[in-house]
Structure formats: structure tokens, C-alpha cells
């Protein structure tokens, strides 16, 4: 019972944070809303029983990546963004489209994943050593490919930021 | 143990741990002022109470009764959030720190620790990485160039040194095979060669210990890594615009972080509460906690000693030291430890 209450509280927090991210006009406020989303997601992982994934979510996303975001926003001293005039087309077609899209996705998820094999709360035990075995045996190739991808991104950033001589 | 007993025991432990931590924080400040005084050939505070022992109380009262200034043009919500965030996160870490073995009181068996989390070490690292926001927001929300510069420096420094800090722990994790802080200490029981304790620092993790120590000093913004609050350049860094209790919160957070870092070093490298235990049952209950306290005291003493001895780094030296010295050392340590463990098994 308590688990379900916590699940819905933090799910609401995650969705609310995501909406706030879009609504806020100052980049810092948006970035901090994203931190709230990441934290709420970490709690959801914890509720599933995956404490390692929850801890890594906090360390990597909320702690490292978002700190860099905030750092860059502070460094650039970015001001509030200007609000463009509201387009009537977006209001007319955007909102119904959004609702339709949401319904479609939920319908597809429920069809693919019927209630019988949903993960129960607290059932997804993910001790670190099991995750490590999965990562370094069956998923070794995707794991390495991802790290090379990140390396390429870093090198791209270095090339772009290099001063021309 | 039924639910009521569990809740009562947990609440009692939380209150006790928080009270002790705050007491330790207050007296670390006094210890620092006294020791640095002696290092600089003066007395330090000696007027309030015997040997100046009531000085923390007087300081606390002074902070409470000072005028609480909020400068104009600050971003008010974030300006108020920053010190709260810093202090609460600094105090939260104590929840997963074990300071002793198990105790039995009237059939209730409980660890001398608020809660034993399976990924305790990662929880500490996660809280530390979130704590950067306290400093970043303080500098940004204050709307002052000194604060902003201080917090930018602090962020860059904490992000850089977090990498070395995290990597230096890998050797210890390989040796103990668990993320639980209690498990890491229990893996260090016993002795080898007859008399040398089986602590990680003696099991080849001396390099990791050095890296951890340097990175920990930088993470807590202490001398010689105190560039975020270098008073000769930045007035006071990220907390320039804070006064009264709000400043005191940053101050307490810094010292609480020092204590946490000392506790973590004790647990990871110096065998935690392990040490000779003898005598009647009450002495056997107290001695482990005493050994733990003694080892943490050693770290706090070292902190203050270093502060009284070393000058501050230049900013480029600071970054070069992290990325060109500590980072490769930590990686080399992890690789060598992994190799040795793999060859032995």
C-alpha cells in the first residue's frame, strides 16, 4: 500500500517536473526541474528494488550531467528566453495530436506487455554483480559501441572548441 | 523485530547520530582554531569556559542573534534553498555510515548505524555529487561576481576531483567485493604475517589512499584546494553574500563533510571500527566505537595540520594535479589491483 502511494507520488513529481521544465522561462529553473525529474526516476527504480540502478541514476544523471548543464548555463550567464507569440495552428492541431499520441503509446504498451508479466514493486532485484555480468557478457558489444560513441562526441567537442592558429 | 520496535529504534538512532555529528562538527571548529593557533604560535580561543571549551556555544548564539541580511537583486527562492540544500545533504550522509558492530538490547539486535544499505558507498557518492548544487546555486543566486566566480571554481573543482575520488575506490571494491560499507569493513577482519592488521591500506591500497586523501581535501574545499573561497581574490567565494545563520549553514556543511570524508576513509582504508577488543561486556561494546572515533580524529587532525602547513594551489596547478597526477594514478591502481586479484584466484 505504502509502496503504491510512494510510486504515484514520485510519478506525479516526475511528470510535474517535466512540465515545469517546459513552462519555466529561465534556463536554470528548467535545468533544476530536470534534476527533480531525474531524482524522482531514481526513487521509482528504488521502489522496483533496483538499488544499484537508482544510485547510478543519481550519481550520473542528477549529479554529473545536470551539474555540467547548470555549470554551462552559469558560465554563459544565459538570460530568460523570450516568449514567441502563440501560434493558433499549434494550439488547434498540437494539443489534440499530443493527446492522440499519448493514447496510442499507452495502448501499444498495454498490448505488448499484458498485466501478467509486469514487474511487481520490489521484484526487480538488480545487485551490482548481476548487472556487471549482464553488461560484460551478453551486452558487451552494445556497451563498447556506446562508449566509442561517447568518445567520438567528446572528440567532436574538442575539435569544435579548438582555437584556429 | 516488529514494526513499532523498528521505528522506535531507528528514530532513537537517528536522533543520537545527528546530535553526535553536530557536536563533533562544533568541536572540530574549536579544534581547528586551537590547533591552527598553536601552529601559528598563538593560543586560539581560550576565554569562554575552561580552555575555551564553550566557544562553539558562544559562536552558535552569535550566529543566531546576528542580523539576517538578504541582499537586493538576489534570486530569492534559490538564494534560500542553497544553504538548506548544502547542510541537509551534508547531514544525510551519516545515515549509511556504520560506526560499530552489532548491539543486543533486550532481544533487539541492531547495527551501530542508522541503516545498512546494500549500495551504501554509492549512496554517499550520490549525495556528494548532489551537494555541488548547494554551492553552484549559492553563487549564481547571490547575483555577485565574487560569489559566481567562487561557485564556478568550486563546481569545476568538485567535478574534476570526484572522478579521481571515485576511481581511487575501485581497488577497495575489488578487494572486498561489496558496496555495503559494513561489508567492506567486515572484509578487513583478521591479520596477516602474524601482526599486521588486514586493513586495505596495508593490502596494497596505499596509492589509492593517497589519491583518496587528496581528492577528499579538494571535494571539501579545504586548504590547499580552497580556491572557491580564496579570500585574497574572491572576498569569501560562494558565500560572500550570506550572513548570520545562512552563512553558518554553509560553515556547518563544510565541517560535516570533513567528518563524513574522514569516516569514509576510516571505513574504506583503515578497517573502520576494527581494533583490539577486550575486557567486560560494556567495554567490548564501547571499544569498537572508540577505535572508530580515534581513526576519524586522526583524519580531522591531519586536515587541520595540512591547513596550517601548506599554501594554496594556483588554479591551473589545481586542475593539472587532478587530471594529470591523481587520475592516472587512480586508474593504474585499479588496473594493478584487478590484475593481482585475478592472478591470485
Percentage with pLDDT > 90 across chain B: 3
Three-state secondary structure along chain B? CCHHHHHHHHHHHHHHHHHHHHHHHHHHHHHHHHHHHHHCCCCCCCCCCHHHCCHHHHHHHHHHHCCCCCCCCCCHHHHHHHHHHHHHHHHHHHHHCCCCCEEEECCEEEECCCCCCCCHHHHHHHHHHHHHHHHHHHHHHCCCHHHHHHHHHHHHHHHHHHHHHHHHCHHHHHHHCCCCHHHHHHCCCCEECCCEECCHHHCCCHHHHHHHHHHHHHHCCCCCCCHHHCHHHHCCHHHCCCCHHHHHHHHHHHHHHHHHHHHHHHHHHCCCCCCCCCCCHHHHHHHHHHHHHHHHHHHHHHHHHHHHHCCCCCHHHHHHHHHHHHHHHHHHHHHHHHHHHHHHC
| Burial (0-12, 13-18, 19+ Cβ within 10 Å), A67 | buried
Percentage with pLDDT > 90 across chain A: 18
Distance from CA of B147 to the nearest CA of A (A): 12
Cα B74 to Cα B141: distance, rounded to the nearest angstrom: 6
Test A52 with B132 for CB contact under 8 angstroms.
no
Closest to B179 in 3D by CA, of A162, A74, A59 = A59
Test A67 with B151 for CB contact under 8 angstroms.
no
pLDDT tens digits, residue range B174-204?
A: 888 888 888 888 888 877 777 778 787 778 7
- What average pLDDT is seen over chain A? 83
pLDDT of B214 over the 80 cut: yes
Report angle CA A57, A161, A80 to the nearest 5 degrees.
Answer: 65
Test A55 with B122 for CB contact under 8 angstroms.
yes
Q: Which is more confident, A124 or A157?
A: A157
Test B132 with A67 for CB contact under 8 angstroms.
yes
Compute the average pLDDT of residues A16-21: 90
Nearest-by-Cβ selection for B140 from A28, A68, A128: A28
Test B155 with A71 for CB contact under 8 angstroms.
yes
Confidence of residue A152 (pLDDT cuts 50, 70, 90): very high
Chain B residues with CB-CB distance to A32 below 8 A: 78, 133
pLDDT tens digits, residue range A21-58?
A: 888 888 888 888 999 999 999 988 888 888 888 888 88
Nearest-by-Cβ selection for B136 from A52, A62, A67: A67
Q: Which of A6-15, A45-54, A103-112, B306-315 has the highest mean pLDDT?
A: A6-15
Residue B152 preceded by cis peptide, ω within 30: no
pLDDT tens digits, residue range B119-136?
A: 888 888 888 888 888 888
Phi, psi angles (nearest 5°) of residue B28: -65, -40
Test A63 with B129 for CB contact under 8 angstroms.
yes
Chain B residues bordering chain A (beta-carbon distance below 8 Å): 78, 117-119, 122-123, 125-126, 128-130, 132-133, 136-137, 139-140, 148, 151-152, 155-156, 159, 162, 177, 179
Angle of helix B76-92 relative to helix B244-269, nearest 10 degrees, comes to: 30
Test B130 with A127 for CB contact under 8 angstroms.
no
Check: CB of residue B304 under 8 Å from CB of residue B217.
no
Confidence of residue A145 (pLDDT cuts 50, 70, 90): very high
Helix (H) or strand (E) holding A136: helix A128-136
Distance from CA of A95 to the nearest CA of B (A): 32
Confidence of residue A118 (pLDDT cuts 50, 70, 90): low
Nearest-by-Cβ selection for A74 from B122, B123, B152: B152
Q: What is the pTM of this model?
A: 0.84
Nearest-by-Cβ selection for B119 from A62, A71, A128: A128
- Buried b or exposed e, range A4-30, using 16+ CB within 10 angstroms: eeeeeebeebbeebeebbeebeebbbb
pLDDT of A62 over the 80 cut: yes
pLDDT of B1 over the 70 cut: no
Chain A residues with CB-CB distance to B117 below 8 A: 51
Phi, psi angles (nearest 5°) of residue B99: -115, 0
Cα B22 to Cα B60: distance, rounded to the nearest angstrom: 12
Rg of chain B taking only CA atoms, in angstroms: 21
Amino acid at each position: 500500500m505504502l509502496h503504491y502511494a510512494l510510486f504515484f507520488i514520485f510519478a506525479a513529481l516526475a511528470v510535474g517536473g517535466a512540465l515545469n521544465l517546459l513552462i519555466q522561462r529561465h534556463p536554470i529553473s528548467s535545468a533544476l526541474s530536470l534534476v527533480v525529474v531525474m531524482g524522482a526516476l531514481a526513487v521509482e527504480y528504488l521502489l522496483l528494488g533496483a538499488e544499484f540502478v537508482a544510485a547510478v541514476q543519481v550519481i550520473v544523471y542528477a549529479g554529473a550531467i545536470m551539474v555540467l548543464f547548470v555549470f554551462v548555463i552559469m558560465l554563459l550567464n544565459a538570460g530568460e528566453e523570450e516568449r514567441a507569440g502563440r501560434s493558433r495552428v499549434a494550439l488547434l492541431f498540437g494539443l489534440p495530436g499530443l493527446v492522440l499520441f499519448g493514447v496510442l503509446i499507452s495502448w501499444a504498451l498495454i498490448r505488448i506487455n499484458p498485466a501478467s508479466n509486469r514487474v511487481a514493486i520490489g521484484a526487480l532485484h538488480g545487485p551490482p554483480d548481476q548487472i556487471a555480468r549482464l553488461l560484460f557478457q551478453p551486452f558487451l558489444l552494445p556497451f563498447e559501441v556506446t562508449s566509442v560513441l561517447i568518445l567520438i562526441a567528446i572528440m567532436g567537442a574538442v575539435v569544435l572548441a579548438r582555437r584556429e592558429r | 523485530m516488529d514494526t513499532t520496535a523498528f521505528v522506535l529504534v531507528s528514530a532513537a538512532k537517528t536522533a543520537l547520530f545527528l546530535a553526535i555529528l553536530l557536536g563533533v562538527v562544533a568541536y572540530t571548529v574549536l579544534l581547528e582554531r586551537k590547533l591552527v593557533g598553536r601552529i601559528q604560535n598563538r593560543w586560539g580561543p581560550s576565554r569562554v569556559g575552561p580552555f575555551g571549551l564553550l566557544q562553539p556555544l558562544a559562536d552558535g548564539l552569535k550566529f543566531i542573534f546576528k542580523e539576517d541580511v538578504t541582499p537586493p537583486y538576489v534570486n530569492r527562492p534559490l538564494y534560500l534553498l542553497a544553504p538548506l540544500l548544502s547542510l541537509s545533504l551534508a547531514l544525510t550522509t551519516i545515515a549509511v555510515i556504520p560506526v560499530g558492530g552489532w548491539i543486543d538490547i533486550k532481544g533487539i539486535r541492531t547495527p551501530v548505524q542508522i541503516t545498512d544499505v546494500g549500495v551504501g558507498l554509492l549512496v554517499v557518492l550520490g549525495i556528494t555529487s548532489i551537494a555541488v548544487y548547494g554551492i553552484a546555486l549559492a553563487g549564481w543566486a547571490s547575483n555577485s561576481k565574487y560569489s559566481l566566480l567562487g561557485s564556478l571554481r568550486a563546481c569545476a573543482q568538485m567535478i574534476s576531483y570526484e572522478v579521481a575520488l571515485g576511481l581511487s575506490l575501485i581497488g577497495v571494491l575489488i578487494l572486498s567485493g561489496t558496496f555495503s560499507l559494513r561489508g567492506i569493513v567486515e572484509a578487513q577482519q583478521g591479520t596477516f604475517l602474524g601482526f599486521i592488521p588486514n586493513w586495505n591500506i596495508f593490502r596494497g591500497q596505499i596509492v589509492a589512499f593517497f589519491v583518496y586523501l587528496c581528492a577528499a581535501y579538494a571535494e571539501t574545499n579545504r586548504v590547499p584546494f580552497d580556491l572557491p573561497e580564496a579570500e585574497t581574490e574572491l572576498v569569501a567565494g560562494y558565500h560572500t553574500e550570506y550572513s548570520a545563520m545562512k552563512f553558518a549553514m554553509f560553515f556547518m556543511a563544510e565541517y560535516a563533510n570533513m567528518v563524513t570524508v574522514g569516516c569514509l576513509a576510516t571505513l574504506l582504508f583503515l578497517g573502520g571500527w576494527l581494533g583490539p577488543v577486550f575486557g567486560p561486556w560494556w567495554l567490548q561494546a564501547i571499544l569498537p566505537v572508540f577505535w572508530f572515533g580515534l581513526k576519524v580524529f586522526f583524519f580531522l587532525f591531519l586536515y587541520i595540520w595540512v591547513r596550517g602547513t601548506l599554501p594554496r594551489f594556483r588554479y591551473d596547478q589545481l586542475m593539472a594535479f587532478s587530471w594529470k597526477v591523481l587520475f592516472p594514478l587512480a586508474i593504474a591502481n585499479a588496473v594493478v589491483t584487478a590484475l593481482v586479484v585475478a592472478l591470485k584466484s
